[in-house]
Amino acid sequence: MIYPLVNLSSLAVDESPLFIEGMVFAANLTIQPLDPNSWLSELFPDHVHELEPVVTQQIHAQYQKLKRNEYALLSLLKTHAPSREEGLADFAEGFMTLWPRIETQWLSTPVSDGSYRMLQALLTTLMLAIDEEQTHLQMQAAGYDALPTLAHMIEQLDLMVHEVALAADEQLVGDKSQQVNPYKSVGRNDPCPCASGKKFKQCCGQ
pLDDT at 187 over 70: no
In which band, very low, low, confident or very high, does the pLDDT at 113 lie, cut at 50, 70 and 90? Answer: confident
Whether 129 is covered by a domain: the verdict is yes
Single pTM value for the model: 0.81
d(CA 165, CA 24): 12
Cα distances from 125 to residues 103, 137, 153, 196, in angstroms, run 16, 15, 6, 32
The boundaries of the domain holding residue 70 are: 17-202
In which band, very low, low, confident or very high, does the pLDDT at 182 lie, cut at 50, 70 and 90? Answer: very low
Beta bridge pairs of residue 191 = 199
Pairwise pLDDT comparison (90 vs 48), residue with the higher score: 90
Cα distances from 30 to residues 107, 151, 169, 194, in angstroms, run 12, 28, 8, 20
111-117 long-range contacts (CB < 8 A, ≥24 apart) are: 111/167, 111/171, 112/167, 115/163, 115/164, 115/167
The candidate with the shortest Cα–Cα distance to 196, out of 73, 60, 28, 81, is 60
Residue 149 near residue 132 (C-beta atoms within 8 A): yes
pLDDT at 33 over 50: yes
In which band, very low, low, confident or very high, does the pLDDT at 108 lie, cut at 50, 70 and 90? Answer: confident
Q: What is the mean pLDDT of residues 148-158?
A: 93
Whether 4 is covered by a domain: the verdict is no
d(CA 144, CA 146): 6
Phi and psi of 204, rounded to 5°?
A: -70, -20
How many distinct structural domains can be found in the chain? Answer: 1
In which band, very low, low, confident or very high, does the pLDDT at 165 lie, cut at 50, 70 and 90? Answer: very high
Whether 7 is covered by a domain: the verdict is no
